[in-house]
Chain A
Amino acid sequence: MQNSQEVPPPVVVVGAGLAGLTAAKTLADAGIDVTVLEARDRVGGRTFTVTDGFADGQHGDLGGELITEDYRALTALCGDLGVELSAPVRIERPDLPEGASPAAGYLAEGRLIVDGEILTGNRFRQAETEIHTALASFPPAPHEVLEQWTRRAGLSDLARAALSGFGRMPTQYDAFQVDSHYLTHAHIGEIRRVVGGSQRLADALAATVNVRLEAPVRAIRQSGGTVAVELESGERFAAGHVVVAVSPFVLPTLGFDPPLPADLTGALTALQRASGGKVIAQYSEGDSVRAALSRAVFTDGPVNTAWVSNPYVTTGPAVVSGFVCGENRYVLEDEDLALAELDAVVATAIGGPVNRLAQHVKNWTADRYALGIGGMPSFAARRPQIAVLATPERRVHLAGDFTDVSLCATMEGAVRSGLRAAGEVLRAPARVSLDYIDRKLVRA
């Protein structure tokens, strides 16, 4: 016998990334009995900080690391949990006039590498002028992909190469996939990082809830007002609601009974995959690396973007994150090759040889619980697609960075989606049993 006075039924959250952990914490704070099931042996999902091998207690982030001014939910969460954020760094050039495009902000002399050389002097000005003129004369359509725009605008090979790095940076898509919107309207502005690595936020969240590690889920079955979550081990958890907060590429591969609606599976399988990952290394030339790379260097090579991921550490060695995506993702399949590419970028940026102290390579495409860096619907199609991706399927609620309409595919999107999914669960009225209706509501 059930009525609204009873204890709310337990909730299971699948996935201990930022989305799942935020949902779980929110539910736990509201007095709900929550269990988080995580397939990996760690929490954090695609936020993943490593420390082993790094000198001076430094660290590297193999997953999400940037926090922009828009990341209000994540910033508030860090405040609540006592997770310290670094001072801001500006990626775009500081002398940017009002109303200038993000592309203008990334076009800074000395920060673009083309063909293994830094663009300076006349070559830089030539590329800069050409890109500015093209943006003014051939404004990109909101849905036009970058590659199509560069061809329509008739950009030279030099200008295309100059765009190549920062064109891929915001989404980690190839130029034939990324909306030119990211060049014209999506300013990144100032960025912060979690001091000590993004994992600190995941760890702080996890400390507040009950997480079961190494518990991969096989199937989620709904019937009769309850949900059963079945692990690969065969163990089953019964819940009143389930929040599924896994990678968008893993979500449709879980068993759902009944199956997920066709439009949801369709939207998920049609999602462009950002494939690839990161190569990170710690260099002993700390000061020169910080001087050259704290605000990012963009290249036309396999490492599209490289920056110091701990610029708030001002002495000792420096850690550099390099991003590899799309057609270049193969570089990550060979650790030595990936590191050689990063070394070359850092050496070019600082103008001298580098000495690598520690290193890690993360290929998210080959990670079975990620199957890619992430993915977002195209800018023009985003709203109707997110409406499909974020709609609960009865008692199964979907969370994850890909379900947030404004900050899709970011750590903030993950946090907001967790808050949204928790809200869905909390607002759901307790089930009213037939017996209760008969006894209390029906006038005899």
Chain B
Amino acid sequence: MRTIVIGAGPAGLAAARSLAGRGEEVVVLEAQPYVGGRTRSDRERLLHGQPADLGGSFIDLGQDELLRTCAELGVALTPQLALLRADPDGRFSAASSLRNTTVVDGRRLPDADRDQVADEVRAALDACPPDPSELVPAWAARAGLSPLARRLFRALTGFNPVHDDSQIQMSMVEPPHVGKVCWMMADGTDAMARAMSEGLDVRLRHVVRAVRRTGREITVETDRGDFPARDVIVAVPVTPTLRIGFAPVLPAWKTEALLATPMAQGGKVIGQYADGAELFEKVGTGIMSDGPISLVWARPVGPEDSVVLLGLAADRGDGFLRGEESALAALDVIVSAVLGRPARRLAGIVKDWSLEPFAGGVVSSLLGDFPRLPSLLAQSVGPVHFAGEHTADMWATGMDGALRSGKRAADQVLSRRSTAAIAAHAKSPG
């Protein structure tokens, strides 16, 4: 009995692998000409075939589904890195990110000033404990941070979760749940999706228009023909899910849960630079900036002393990510400030996920009604199941959550099978 999986990102591929591994017939329909969804890497535009991770990058300690998948598929990781530094008392707090090298107004902030800002934020976190649901700018205002500390603190949401701070709650940054111990995939993030898709029946360039149920049969309608199925796993992000027609209509609770899960808007500015070893050293755990690029970090030094630096920028409606040259120039300013002389950029890419029609944004923002929302988003509607980073029970909005959600959706398909089998068995005479 066939299952159609819509979307060949990590969630859809995890679902399809899980089902295929248990002898089920699975077809994956992917709108784009590549697998990986928002974990796509570009290998064409940087020198020496270096991968540019356009979307998801980090694996954190504790993301065991992701780590185990890498182990299983032989996906190698970069050496361990950290994106934040502990506070003087050894604890990690929302102030820890502010202990990175910091660039303000295009100039490197002296380390002593930077530490003073971080200490101020840490003291405010202790003196004026944030409510988990309180928005980042609201806490910064209530806590009475100084103008510079407030500006830098609010910039944190530009990389976690790559969004304007006006929708991001304090629980996202305090305490920090990512960035203490992490890795990247050595051959680019989509190495995982590529390895996962091997042996699967993945149909690229198939845009799904509607999912129609009649009796026990489902038809998945694409722009290139119809696919019959017994079960369907919708493993696309929030926005593309809202663009698929469902007959019968999805129940109100499902549509409302999707509408209450806005997607973070923004993207990545990626530059490959000369003087790689020196830059790698100077970038250290990362560069914080007051924007529009809020965090820059380095991949390991590549061939001919080059290094790929990745910057994250939230979309603030000002067109920053739409101007490729100006966005790369903004990255140059930050990199040069840290290098202490004009940096030499060899190649660059700007990726705006808000403009990507089959993504709709960077990641889902589950903070509207967290943590009830992911469980609602994960519920099946009869034989229609839902996977994706927004539906995960743990590490939601991350690659690990995507993989977990795919496995869960596969189990939901199989449990329908066994329930049906039990029913058939009960009915059979004798």
A interface residues, Cβ below 8 angstroms from B = 138, 141-145, 147-154, 175-177, 218-219, 221, 249-250, 252-262, 265-267, 269-270, 272-273, 275, 327, 329-330, 333-334, 363, 365-366, 371, 378, 380-381
Please report the C-alpha to C-alpha distance between residue A305 and residue B245 in the assembled complex, in whole angstroms.
25
* Residue B92 lies at the interface, judged by CB distance under 8 Å to chain A: no
Contact A148 B246 (CB under 8 A): yes
Q: Which of B131, B169, B250, B319 contacts A330 (CB 8 A)?
A: B319
Contact B367 A269 (CB under 8 A): yes
Contact B141 A219 (CB under 8 A): yes
Please report the C-alpha to C-alpha distance between residue A151 and residue B250 in the assembled complex, in whole angstroms.
13
Q: Which of B132, B138, B365 contacts A260 (CB 8 A)?
A: B138
Cβ of A154: which chain B residues have Cβ within 8 Å of it? 210, 245
Contact A262 B133 (CB under 8 A): yes
Contact B260 A254 (CB under 8 A): no
Cβ of A334: which chain B residues have Cβ within 8 Å of it? 319, 322
The 5 residue pairs across chains A and B that have the minimum distance between CB atoms: A151-B245, A270-B368, A255-B141, A333-B319, A365-B317
Q: Which of A152, A255, A330 contacts B247 (CB 8 A)?
A: A152
Contact A260 B368 (CB under 8 A): no
Using known A-B contacts A151-B245, A176-B239, determine if residue A260 contacts B134 with beta carbons closer than 8 Å. Answer: yes
Cβ of B1: which chain A residues have Cβ within 8 Å of it? none
Q: Which of B242, B260, B318 contacts A366 (CB 8 A)?
A: B318
Contact B167 A269 (CB under 8 A): yes
- Shortest C-beta distance, A174 to chain B (Å), equals 9
Please report the C-alpha to C-alpha distance between residue A59 and residue B400 in the assembled complex, in whole angstroms.
54
Please report the C-alpha to C-alpha distance between residue A363 and residue B318 in the assembled complex, in whole angstroms.
9
Contact A148 B243 (CB under 8 A): yes
- Shortest C-beta distance, B173 to chain A (Å), equals 14
Contact A150 B245 (CB under 8 A): yes
Please report the C-alpha to C-alpha distance between residue A256 and residue B137 in the assembled complex, in whole angstroms.
10
Please report the C-alpha to C-alpha distance between residue A320 and residue B370 in the assembled complex, in whole angstroms.
43
Q: Name the CB-closest residue of B to A139.
A: B249
9 extra interchain contacts, Cβ-Cβ under 8 A, other than A145-B255, A266-B369?
Answer: A143-B255, A148-B243, A221-B142, A254-B137, A269-B169, A270-B369, A330-B319, A333-B317, A378-B256
Q: Which of B244, B319, B370 contacts A148 (CB 8 A)?
A: B244
Cβ of A266: which chain B residues have Cβ within 8 Å of it? 133, 367-370
Q: Which of A177, A218, A258, A329 contacts B141 (CB 8 A)?
A: A218
* Residue B139 lies at the interface, judged by CB distance under 8 Å to chain A: yes
Please report the C-alpha to C-alpha distance between residue A312 and residue B256 in the assembled complex, in whole angstroms.
41
Q: Which of A177, A327, A329 contacts B317 (CB 8 A)?
A: A329
- Shortest C-beta distance, B222 to chain A (Å), equals 11
List residues of B (96-154) whose CB comes within 8 Å of A's CBs: 130-135, 137-144
Cβ of A144: which chain B residues have Cβ within 8 Å of it? 249-250, 255
Please report the C-alpha to C-alpha distance between residue A145 and residue B139 in the assembled complex, in whole angstroms.
35
Q: Which of A145, A149, A176, A257 contacts B142 (CB 8 A)?
A: A257
B interface residues, Cβ below 8 angstroms from A = 130-135, 137-144, 164-169, 209-210, 212, 239, 242-247, 249-250, 252, 255-256, 259-262, 316-319, 322, 355, 365, 367-370
Contact B259 A269 (CB under 8 A): no
Using known A-B contacts A252-B166, A333-B322, determine if residue A259 contacts B261 with beta carbons closer than 8 Å. Answer: no
Contact A253 B137 (CB under 8 A): yes
Contact A152 B246 (CB under 8 A): yes
Cβ of A330: which chain B residues have Cβ within 8 Å of it? 319, 322, 355
Contact B367 A145 (CB under 8 A): no
Using known A-B contacts A151-B210, A259-B133, A270-B262, determine if residue A253 contacts B317 with beta carbons closer than 8 Å. Answer: no
Q: Name the CB-closest residue of A to B249.
A: A141
Using known A-B contacts A256-B142, A333-B319, A334-B319, determine if residue A151 contacts B244 with beta carbons closer than 8 Å. Answer: yes
Using known A-B contacts A256-B142, A259-B142, determine if residue A145 contacts B133 with beta carbons closer than 8 Å. Answer: no
- Shortest C-beta distance, B23 to chain A (Å), equals 32
Please report the C-alpha to C-alpha distance between residue A262 and residue B171 in the assembled complex, in whole angstroms.
11
Contact B242 A265 (CB under 8 A): no
Contact B317 A145 (CB under 8 A): no
Please report the C-alpha to C-alpha distance between residue A175 and residue B141 in the assembled complex, in whole angstroms.
36
Q: Which of A148, A259, A371, A378 contacts B131 (CB 8 A)?
A: A259
Cβ of B134: which chain A residues have Cβ within 8 Å of it? 256, 259-260, 265
- Shortest C-beta distance, A43 to chain B (Å), equals 23
Please report the C-alpha to C-alpha distance between residue A391 and residue B131 in the assembled complex, in whole angstroms.
19
Contact A380 B256 (CB under 8 A): yes
11 contacts between A and B (CB under 8 A): A141-B249, A151-B209, A151-B243, A152-B212, A250-B166, A254-B137, A254-B141, A260-B138, A269-B135, A333-B317, A380-B256
Q: Which of B142, B245, B256 contacts A153 (CB 8 A)?
A: B245
- Shortest C-beta distance, B171 to chain A (Å), equals 10
Please report the C-alpha to C-alpha distance between residue A366 and residue B320 in the assembled complex, in whole angstroms.
11
Please report the C-alpha to C-alpha distance between residue A143 and residue B253 in the assembled complex, in whole angstroms.
9
Contact A259 B317 (CB under 8 A): no
Q: Which of A145, A270, A329 contacts B260 (CB 8 A)?
A: A270
